[in-house]
Structure 1
Amino acid sequence: MHFITHIRCVLFLHGFKQKDFKYSQKIKLEGKYSSLCFVVLYVVFSLSTDLLSRIDLDELMKKDEPPFNFPQTLEEFEYAFNEYGQLRHTKTGEPFVFNAREDLHRWNQKRYEALGEIITEYVYELLEKECNMTKAILPVDAEGDEPTSFIYLSPDALSNPSKLLVLIQGSGVVRAGQWARRLIINQDLNSGTQIPFIRRAMEEGFGVVVLNPNLNYLEVEKAPKSSPSHPPAEVSDEPAEKRERKDEQEGKKKREFYEKYRNPQKETETERIPIRENSSSEDHVLYVWDHFVSRAAAKNVFIMAHSYGGLSFVEMMNQREVQVKNRVCAVAFTDSAHNLWLQETTKGTQDWIFQYCSNWVSSPEPLDTPLDSMLPDCPKVSAGTERHELTSWTSFDSIFRFFAEALKAREDEEAEENSNPVTTRRSSFRNKHQDL
């Protein structure tokens, strides 16, 4: 029985669960070969473990993985957007396939990212050619080779005297004009980009500002390191040969670690140079408010913020509370990541957000169904989808109705204020929106 216990321990150490040992119960110890069977099992498992330990899986992957040389254009990728804004293969008509090569997830991911960079440039082109928007470089006083970012402005963004819509996306790889790269590639342009919102806003007489909160740094190739001059050797009791052998072993370990885990294909090493006053989403939103939105002619500013964009807006309001209250007519969040408590908002900000903001969140409930909030916040309603990245698109019509109601309430109350100065500004907007 002690021998059986030992075998159980061996099997357990090799990853076998207790339930897997049921097969051992079928082996009767009555025969003269029973002990020999267990010895053979022990030897086999020991040898297999030793063999696996000698196989460098990272090296195998490195040898089998194709180089990261991907097409530079949609045409070279053999993909194009059809009349419905869907990405399709130009020869087969099939949607994009992520697993172009089986069992090569990292290579497939790199290929997907390469396509994503092309999509980013494609959306920029749509903003400029189809939406007639222009780039504004940030910082506005950038000089020389200083790293820069940019936003997009409609022709009347700063001059429209009535309405201005500001679009703030979430975090991640998405750039100006995008809600979700995955939707653009796997679904269509309407659901994944901000273009439908821009067009609708222009049709309804809004100026438009498209922010770019995730372009925070310039990535450049690292300069090759020159061999540093060796500092004077410290006094040590170790023999010189032993120290040299030790240094050589440590250097070899570092090189092997880098080669295996950091850079299996010897990709170009890069470093990030932050963009002045725009090195984070929060900094970017504040900068655009100070240099563009607050200086725009529009009497009524509307904000739409998705996911992390909502958090960035609240951070900006923490620093520009009075300006926001005076200029912003309404804010539409979609699955916003903000938290009024963790972001240490004032009581005045909390009251204002409850009164003039609404958050369309992912939920299985029908679109616009009111939802309970565990913490005091702006009203939450269902976006009609459980997919986070889709919440902006599914709430499209509801958001513009919300903006229209907010504007009407403001105009009605301003008219009432003119006739009765005692009236509180926009006091009935929240009630009207809740009724809607």
Structure 2
Amino acid sequence: LGAWSRRLLCNRNVELGSVYSVVKQARDDGYGVMALNPNSHWWVDGRATVTVPTKKDYKLIPGLGSPEEHVAYVLSNIVQNFASKEIFFIAHKYGAHALIQALYNQFDTYKDRVSAVAVIESTHTIDSFPTPEFKKWWSLNGAGYVHSEDTDKGKIEYKPYAGCNCVCAGSVEFDFTLVEKMPDIFRFFRSRNGRDNRFEAYRDRLQTLNEDDPTTVMVTFEDDNNAGSDAEEEVPSY
């Protein structure tokens, strides 16, 4: 299965350095699993590769000209045909941007079917997806997991650029955010099992605090208009 990073493979092991451990945990929790590799654009010698081919005998994989194109293709042609009304996503770095863009463009298809989205060290910015309806949906269903100092481990912060609450991993090495926070991600998912995923059912409802669900945590952040002051603004989760 696909590698998260070479450093994890070398410093830890194959299970933690690849999506193997994530797939195993998901299967143990009763989920069906689909793993995407949006970075492999070419088909060479009977397999996908992320390396630019040097051989003449290769093909560009249809629907995989870019990460955004690949994720959009899979969501519109495969995932939307699933019978499940409870869909969970885990996405990493630029893959998270590609996923959020696909969800934004296919919002009507997925707004009532997605239970939770966990993005790890995501490169997205919420300003790229300006629709207020989507921004609210994202803040209620998306959670970020980011590297941080050890002293901030477990702290939850609202990140304006991300448009959602983000959980600090307590590791300054961003590769290890995966290792540190994966158990928390699955607790987040379990807390959403069986939820009525119709957006209209919860969009205007005050959420009850759940320690396993980072979207329900009340957070504070400095008001940019009062930089240098002690003023802080509370951001409730609705």
TM over 0.5, shorter chain: yes
2:16 is the counterpart of 1:191: yes
Shift of 1:278: 1.1
Q: Which has the higher helix share?
A: 1
| 1:411-433 deviation per Cα after TM superposition (whole angstroms, max 9, x unaligned) | 5x88xxxxxxx964683457433
Shift of 1:376: 6.2
Please, which of 111, 115, 119 is the counterpart of residue 329 of structure 1?
115
Please, which of 200, 209, 217 is the counterpart of residue 42 of structure 2?
217
- Contact 2:39 / 2:66 at 8 angstroms: preserved in 1? yes
Q: 1:286 aligns to what SS in structure 2?
A: helix
**Gap change, CA 1:423 and 1:198, over 3 Å in 2:** closer
- Cα distance in structure 1, aligned partners of 2:54 and 2:24: 41
2:114 is the counterpart of 1:289: no
Shift of 1:401: 0.8
Seq. identity, %: 26
Shift of 1:314: 1.4
**Gap change, CA 1:183 and 1:373, over 3 Å in 2:** same
2:27 is the counterpart of 1:207: no
**Gap change, CA 1:395 and 1:278, over 3 Å in 2:** same
Q: 2:33 aligns to what SS in structure 1?
A: strand
2:132 matched to which residue of 1? Answer: 347
2:148 matched to which residue of 1? Answer: 363
**Gap change, CA 1:293 and 1:423, over 3 Å in 2:** closer
Larger Rg: 1
State TM-score, norm by structure 1. Answer: 0.43
Structure 2 segments unaligned to the other structure (5+ residues): 46-52, 219-238
- Cα distance in structure 2, aligned partners of 1:210 and 1:393: 18
1:427 matched to which residue of 2? Answer: 205
User: Residues 226-375 of structure 1 correspond to what in structure 2 (within 5 A)?
Assistant: 269-270=54-55, 273-341=59-127, 343-364=128-149, 365-375=151-161
Structure with more relative contact order (C-alpha pairs < 8 Å, separation 6 or more): 2
How many residues are aligned here? Answer: 204
**Gap change, CA 1:430 and 1:290, over 3 Å in 2:** farther
2:180 matched to which residue of 1? Answer: 394
| 1:369-400 deviation per Cα after TM superposition (whole angstroms, max 9, x unaligned) | 11242446111110221111121221111001
Q: 2:170 aligns to what SS in structure 1?
A: coil
- Cα distance in structure 1, aligned partners of 2:201 and 2:78: 31
| 1:39-73 deviation per Cα after TM superposition (whole angstroms, max 9, x unaligned) | xxxxxxxxxxxxxxxxxxxxxxxxxxxxxxxxxxx
- Contact 1:317 / 1:349 at 8 angstroms: preserved in 2? no
- Cα distance in structure 1, aligned partners of 2:204 and 2:89: 17
- Cα distance in structure 1, aligned partners of 2:65 and 2:205: 38
State TM-score, norm by structure 2. Answer: 0.76
